[in-house]
Every structure is written in C-alpha cells, then in structure tokens.
C-alpha cells in the first residue's frame, strides 16, 4: 500500500485479527491510537463510544 500510493508517511499494521475474522478484534473508526514499534504494541488511546 505504501509503495503503490507513494505514501511512505502512513503506518501499516499487518497480521492482526480485525474485521471479519476469528477471533474478531474491532478497530474503532476515528479513535486516537498509537503504535510502539519498539515493543510491537498497538494501543487505542480513547473511548470510541460517544
């Protein structure tokens, strides 16, 4: 994706069970999140419920 669209500034997460998979992990659209590349940790920083 990064090479195809020329956007090397965008982070890419791969190998996660999210969406239509089992087990299902939901990524809330629009919620602030961070990726720590040193530890391999992905964290959602805020509630996705308004």
21-49 pLDDT, tens digit per residue, is 787 778 888 889 998 988 989 899 998 77
Is 29 exposed, middle or buried, given 0-12, 13-18 or 19+ CB atoms closer than 10 A?
exposed
pTM attached to this predicted model: 0.57
d(CA 18, CA 33): 15
The answer to whether the CB of 19 falls within 8 A of the CB of 13 is no
What is residue 4's predicted lDDT score, i.e. its pLDDT?
Answer: 85
Tell me the CB-side half-sphere exposure of residue 3, using CA atoms within 13 A: 0
């Amino acid at each position: 994706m990064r090479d195809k669209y020329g956007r090397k500034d965008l982070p890419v997460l791969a190998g996660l069970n999210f969406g239509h998979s089992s087990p299902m992990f939901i990524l809330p659209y629009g919620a602030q999140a961070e990726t720590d590349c040193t530890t391999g940790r992905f964290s959602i920083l805020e509630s996705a419920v308004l």
